[in-house]
Amino acid sequence: MNTTVKTLALAGSLALILSACGESGDDNASGGGELAGSGSGDSCVIEAPVPVGAALSLTGAAASYGESQRKGLELAAEQLAEQEGVTYELTVEDDATDPRQGITVFEQFAEDQSVIIGPTLSNGAFQAQPIAQEAGVPVVAISNTASGITEQGDYIFRVSLTEAQVIPQTVEISKEEFGLEKVVVMYSNDDAFTESGYDVFASALEEQGVEVLDTLTFSKADTDFRALLTEARAAEPDAIVVSGLIEAAIPLVTQARELGIEVPIIGGNGFNNPQLMSETGDAAEGVVVGAAWNSASEGELNTAFLADFEEKFGHQPDQFAAQAYAGMTVIDHAVRAGCSGEREAIKENLGAVSDVETVLGTLSINADRDAEHPAVVQVVEGGSFTPLN
């Protein structure tokens, strides 16, 4: 290699490293205007746009959830901007499903954002959210369902229901509906979300006196479940209970039907996705999904959300999009309540959120900073989710 190329390459890498050094802090999104406004509620007027940072997994293993969340947030920010008085400057950043980038993104957001949304995955949340807590920036978790998320500090809030708020109800209603006595449980044991989902399923089943014939584990990257399903079939259960993500749900449900397993399949939050029907066809019939969002809700907000989302993005939203959308609704409510886009005010008012109408239903934030709103148990019938009870 000749010297010129070497020099160029050296200069290039130096420039790269130097520009990495000089990156922080100069584009303060709140620039210029005042974040404290006048008025309150609907009449609140804040001069500067309120900076909202969202750290989502747009690439890497969790990209499909992050992408849904981004769409939900963008739709919400766009619609909120049409209302008088308060606008939001939404910055969506990618953590590439990598804790290293998640931490870095949170650190950057902690410098210049009024409120942070995310991250997508619960493990990432445990790694990144303490940074916001230390910097005193309120965080709204929109998809983390693991226990302990909000215990990290008084700046951490969430609008997504925990498994403990969804699954016991799912088990109870399914038991009534199908007369469950014995089930087989399957879950992916290398994923924090599905493993904590399993824990709740296990204790709910025990509480309801349903016998667990067998517990089978798989990896979140698996797509061939025939061996496991054959085992499950041999146990002759009344239903198969699955704590898995949608990536697993689609092949799992199809293969179960293909192997002749006709008993109900009961899933958690991970199954609440229109792809379940669009990608499995008839196989999804009879799948029971306990979820935080009732996609079939006739509520005015929800029907409008479904229509607007479909119009903007050309497909149906999933629960991740709906929760993201609701997250922005809750933030907007908190900002307007104090009529301030400053961190402390948002934090105070997030804690006081009570009976806010969202696409998820009427939502309140409790003393533990967790959301409370109705959960739903749905069954797939005729190619769409319908409430089971």
Partner 1 sequence: MSESVLVFIALNAILAYSFYAVLVAGQLSLGQAGFAALGGFTAAALAPAPSEVGDLPALLVAVVIGMVVGALAAVVLGLPTMHLRGVFLAIATLGFAEAVRILLINAEWTGGANGMSVTKVVTPVIAWVCLALVAYWFWRQGPSSYGRALAAIREDELAARAMGIDVGRHRLSAFVTAGAVAGLYGVLWAYYVRLLAPEDFDFARAIDGLVMAVVGGSTVWLGPLLGGAFMTSVPEVLRSIGVEAGWIRPFISSALLLVVIIFLPGGLGSLLPRVGARAPADLAEGGEGLAPRSGRALPSPGETVVRVSGGNKDYGGVHAVRDVDLTIASGEVVGLIGPNGAGKTTLVNMISGLVPPSSGTFEVLGTTPGRTAVHKVAQAGVSRTFQHSKLFPRLSALENVLVGAHVVSRPTFLRRLLWLPGARRDESQVVVHAARCLERAGLGDRSREDAGSLSYGDQRRLEIARALAAEPSLLILDEPAAGMNHVEADALSRLIGSLAAEGLTILLIEHNVGMVMRTCDRIVVLNFGEVIAAGTPEEIVNDPAVVEAYLGGDDATPPGTETEEVR
Partner 2 sequence: MQQLLNGLFLGSIYALFAIGFTLVFGILDRLNLAHPAVFAAAAFVGIELVAVGGLSIWVALPLVAVFGAFLGLVIERVAFRPLRGRPDAHFAGLIGSIGLGGMFIALLLWRYGPDTRRFPVEAFPSTAFDLGPARVTLLQVAILVISVLLMAGLTWLVARSRLGRAMRAVAENPRAATVLGLNVDRVTATTFALSSALGAVAGALFALNVNSAQLGMGTAIELKGLAVIIVGGMGSLPGALVGGLILGLAEVFAVQYVGSSWRDLVAFGLLFLLLVVRPQGLFGSRRVREV
Contacting positions for partner 1 (CB under 8 A): 1, 5-6, 9-10, 13, 16-17, 19-21, 23-24, 58-59, 92-94, 96, 99-101, 103-105, 107-108, 122-123, 126-127, 130-131, 146, 189-192, 194-196
Q: Which stretch binds partner 2 (CB under 8 A): 41-49, 157-165, 225-233, 337-345?
A: 225-233
- Piece of 11-19, 81-89, 104-112, 274-282 that binds partner 2 (CB under 8 A): 274-282
Helix-helix angle 300-313:63-82, to 10 degrees: 110
Residue 223 near which of partner 2, partner 1, none (CB within 5-8 Å, type-dependent):
partner 2
Is 293 within 8 Å of 274 (Cβ atoms)?
no
From the list partner 2, partner 1, none, partner contacted by residue 222 (C-beta under 5 to 8 A by kind): partner 2
Partner in contact with 367, chosen from partner 2, partner 1, none, beta carbon below 5 to 8 Å by kind = none
Nearer to partner 2, 228 or 335 (CB): 228
- With CB under 5 to 8 Å by kind, the binding choice for 230 among partner 2, partner 1, none is partner 2
Task: Give the nearest distance from C-beta 63 to partner 2 in angstroms.
Answer: 3
CB–CB of 58/94 below 8 Å?
yes
Task: Choose from partner 2, partner 1, none: what does 255 bind? Cβ within 5-8 Å by kind.
Answer: partner 2
> Binding to partner 2 by residue 56, rule CB under 8 A?
no
Q: Is 202 in the site for partner 2 (CB under 8 A)?
A: no
Give the range of 53-61, 98-106, 336-344, 363-371 binding partner 2 by CB under 8 A: 53-61
Give the whole-angstrom CA distance, residue 61 versus residue 59: 7
Burial of residue 376 (CB within 10 Å: 0-12, 13-18, 19+) is buried
Residue 250: how many CB atoms within 10 A of its CB? 21
Q: Tokens in use for 173?
A: 């209603």
**Cα–Cα distance between 13 and 16 in angstroms, integer?**
5
* Residue 74 sits in the site that holds partner 2 (CB under 8 A): no
Do 321 and 68 touch, CB atoms closer than 8 A?
yes
Output the CA torsion sign for 379, 357, 371, 326.
positive
Q: Is the dihedral of CA 279, 284, 285, 288 positive or negative?
A: negative
> Which residue stretches of the chain are H helix?
3-21, 63-82, 99-112, 122-135, 163-178, 192-207, 226-234, 246-258, 275-280, 300-313, 319-338, 343-351
281 contributes a contact to partner 2 by CB under 8 A: yes
Q: Which partner, partner 2, partner 1, none, binds residue 130 by CB below 5 to 8 Å per kind?
A: partner 1
Q: If binding is defined by CB under 8 A, does position 193 make contact with partner 2?
A: no
By C-beta, is 67 or 74 nearer to partner 2?
67
Contact 120, 143 (CB under 8 A): yes
CB 376 within 8 A of CB 312: no
One of 46, 55, 56, 64 touching partner 2 (CB under 8 A): 64
**Closest listed residue to residue 53, CA positions, set 128, 123, 145, 150:** 128
Q: Which residues bind partner 2 (CB under 8 A)?
A: 58-59, 61, 63-64, 66-67, 189, 216-219, 221-224, 226-228, 230-231, 233, 246-247, 250-251, 254-255, 258-260, 275, 279-282
